[in-house]
A and B are shown apart, each in its own frame.
Chain A
Amino acid sequence: MIESPNLTPSSPTPPNLSTASKATRIIGWAALAVTGLALLFGLVISGPEVNMRDSVRLLYVHVPSILTAYTCFGITLVGSVMYLRTQSQFWDLAAASAAEVGVVFLGLGLVTGALWGKPTWGTYWEWDPRLTSTAVMFIMYIGYLAIRRMEFSPEVRSRRAAVVGIISILNVIIVHYSVQWWRGLHQGQTFGLDPQIRDMQYFSWFLGTVAMALVASWLLIHRFRVSWLERQVEESQLVRALAERRREAGE
């Protein structure tokens, strides 16, 4: 894909190179608008919480990031299963794209979580089941993405990645419960959103979730299209390499 000759014939009007479409433009503008609203409510209009004070504002981005990441990994699981059943490129690319977007959101979730934890618990990190399994999950999906960059033939890579995509979820569950069992012997701790969170705070959190969902859909669609283009380029390179080898053999 680097330095390959231009396949599109040169035309007077520059070719449309964008991966956008009407749908993604609408999602994109909606995402920007809701993000603006979420920032307004999250940072200005809503007030501090009684115990957490202003650090509660981090939850308006932290919880939505994690939820988005989990949804993305859910898509990866579904895509992996469906790929093994149907061998369809669509599901394979959907699984791959969702994993990458998921890793981005999970990374943000971990960072904002640590930043929330420092003023709230007094530590950036706590060895609690949820945190520990999330950290392992983060590394595991980085590993999944690493497989997707390897120099397999496309079918072998898709199949092996699908197997990893399925086992990863299984392992997240195992890690979560084993850590819970381990820590459960010492301390019974569960952290969650305070149910007594006030209306305005709840609304800010809701806006954050909607904003993240819109941003994530925009990213997901574009990532899917970019993945598809990557696959096209890869295949055309394969065809070219084959043709070259055949020519050499013919001589």
Chain B
Amino acid sequence: MLHDAWIMARKDLRIEWVTRVATGQVLPFGALVLILFGLALNPDLVIVGEQRRSILAQVAPGLFWITVLLASLLALGRSFALEANDGNVDALKMAGLDPAGVFLGKAMAVAAQLLAIEVVLGFGAFVLYGTPLANFVMLVCAVILATVGVAAAGTLYAGIASGLRARDTLVPLLVLPILSPVLLAATLSTEAAVFGGSGGWSWVMLLGVFAVIYLGVGMLAFGLVMEET
């Protein structure tokens, strides 16, 4: 199974390396969303509390994760558009790949692409929004675990909507409610990581629990979902 996952992940990432869809289209899209948030929320507005901070800096963790979720929708669409062509699904079945392995591989490929995008977007958010950084280790843990959760839940639901003409509109409707607890935990742990504060690690742990749950459910259910007839 792990071997099959490795084959799938390598295949998807190799296609990405050649076509550059994630870096050439999804990443600029994410950067654009970050800029649009800056336009939508007045950057001069300041919250006067314990520290003077612009509204944009204050809500930066939430904006960052909303941006990642939107970008993940595009990455997921791309991941399954790869399989939609020329009877690829049949070919995968003929090759005798374990469905759990296929799921794991596709999820890992999506996670790897998202992580690459997040590094750039995160850097952009720090520069554009002027956010501080209190705990780098916590930030890295939160980002990695949240990304695995997003990729796992997203891959399962993108699989459920695959093979449909209405796929592009159905996937967001299905995936975003499922990811709402991930958004919550990711935002709160990121807030704790950048501003400093207590309780951050428990949210990171919750992100880990989500990642494990979604990976487990996906591996169990993906075979059922991909069966045709």
Is B170 in contact with chain A by the CB < 8 A criterion?
yes
Distance of B190 from chain A, by nearest CB (Å): 14
Is B40 in contact with chain A by the CB < 8 A criterion?
no
Residues 162-184 of A contacting B (Cβ, < 8 Å): 163-164, 167, 170-171, 174-175, 178-179, 181-182
Contacts of A170 in B (CB 8 A): 213, 217
> Do residues A150 and B166 form an inter-chain contact, with CB atoms below 8 A?
yes
Q: Do A178 and B181 contact each other (CB < 8 Å), given the known contacts A151-B165, A167-B221? A: yes
Contacts A140-B178, A150-B164, A174-B210 supplied; 15 other A-B pairs, CB < 8 Å: A143-B170, A146-B174, A150-B166, A151-B165, A151-B166, A156-B229, A159-B224, A160-B160, A160-B225, A167-B217, A167-B221, A170-B213, A171-B177, A171-B178, A178-B206
B164's partner among A84, A143, A152, A185 (CB-CB below 8 A) is A152
Interface residues of chain A: helix, strand, loop or mixed (majority): helix
Binding site for B on A (CB under 8 A): 84, 136, 139-140, 142-143, 146-147, 150-153, 155-156, 159-160, 163-164, 167, 170-171, 174-175, 178-179, 181-182, 185
Is B95 in contact with chain A by the CB < 8 A criterion?
no
Contacts of A182 in B (CB 8 A): 184, 188
Contacts of A150 in B (CB 8 A): 161, 164, 166, 170
Q: Tell me the total A-B contact number using a CB cutoff of 8 A.
A: 74
Q: Which of under 10, 10 to 19, 20 to 34, or 35 or more describes the interface residues of B? A: 20 to 34
Contacts of B213 in A (CB 8 A): 170, 174
Interface residues of chain B: helix, strand, loop or mixed (majority): helix
Mask: chain B, 158-171; 1 = CB below 8 Å from A; 0 = not:
00110111100010
Contacts of A155 in B (CB 8 A): 229
Is B199 in contact with chain A by the CB < 8 A criterion?
yes
